[in-house]
Structure 1
Amino acid sequence: MKILDAIDLRIIAGVQDNGRITINELAERVGLSPSPCARRLHILEESGVIKGYTATIDQAKVGLPVSAFASIKLERQREEDLDRFSKAVARWPEVVDCYLMTGQRDYLLRIVVRDLHAYEEFLKSKLTRLEGVASIETSFALSQIKRSEVLPLT
């Protein structure tokens, strides 16, 4: 793993701020000429530090206003049970975030759907049918106060 220096961190901050920034704008922002800036950016991408570029979409404006947070407890926490759960969740487009947790619950999922009926369908047709799930507790977000993909690099 490459140790990130101050210039790498400025490059990362630049593309976090604007994923569509041109290499010339980025180079000027970080204090490099375009060629070395492009080379460093490519290294950050190839090493997986920068995993990709996406657009931030307003989920309500595309007809998916409901965010449900499901806390999942498995019957057992053996490696094969954790793997089976992780592989299933990775296939479900409704699950936009999934974390393996410490504490009382094993997983925390953020599930995005169009309405409560769609969540009920997801629950009945997918989540409750998955072998090894002992319990599911769901909370619904009333509003989103903050959401960010920008990491605090300073």
Structure 2
Amino acid sequence: MRERRTPLDETDIALLDAVQRDGQATAQQLGDRLHLSASQAGRRRQRLEEAQVIQGYSARLDPEKLGLDVQAFVQVQLARHGAEEGMGISRLLRLRPEIVSAWTMTGEADYLLRVYCPDLPALNTLIHEVLLAHPVVARVHSQIVMDQPKPDAPLPIG
């Protein structure tokens, strides 16, 4: 069994906090922030990347400027829970670009989906013609996001 937690010292934690806030920070900028040389900061970042503590870097895009005006959370309850059904719903989740993240859940809903759509008719199509049309889906419950008072934040690593 692989060890789940990677040992981190205070400098590693500070470096992780810095790259969560600015994934484009150079080794020199990280070194300046952490009071290390650029080469030391770069080696630490590389070690954390190799250990897969840092899994990658991405850009945060503005959904509204891309025409994605509706964000919703959709709970999906399955009618059956066999391996074949699980593979089928997992495939659907991977193939639909509107579904930006998905979680399996405890409780009444089996999945919680975060979706972005250009408008309400597109969300309606996703729910009725895609999700509810899937043979294993028994029930769907959606909640449309009105506002996001706290944006997605860095992980609490400190």
Note if 1:121 corresponds to 2:117.
no
2:15 maps to which residue?
11
Report matched runs for 1:1-154 at 5 Å.
1=3, 2-154=6-158
What is the RMSD of the two structures over their aligned residues, measured on CA atoms? 1.5
Paired residue secondary structure (2:132):
helix
**Are 2:76 and 2:110, in contact at CA under 8 Å, matched by a contact in 1?**
yes
User: 1:115 is matched by which residue type in structure 2?
Assistant: D
**Are 2:105 and 2:111, in contact at CA under 8 Å, matched by a contact in 1?**
yes
User: 2:82 is matched by which residue type in structure 1?
Assistant: R
Identity rate of aligned residues, in percent?
Answer: 35
TM-score (norm 1): 0.91
Give structure 2 stretches of 5+ with no counterpart.
none
User: 1:56 is matched by which residue type in structure 2?
Assistant: R
How many residues of Structure 1 are paired with residues of Structure 2 in the alignment?
Answer: 154
Distance 1:92 1:149, change over 3 A: farther
Paired residue secondary structure (2:88):
helix
Residue by residue over 1:63-112, the C-alpha shift from the partner in whole angstroms, topping out at 9 and shown as x without a partner, is 10101211100012234322321222011110012110011110111110
Give 1:131 shift. 2.5
> How far apart in 2 are the matches of 1:8 and 1:78?
42
Give structure 1 stretches of 5+ with no counterpart.
none
Distance 1:29 1:97, change over 3 A: same
TM-score (norm 2): 0.89
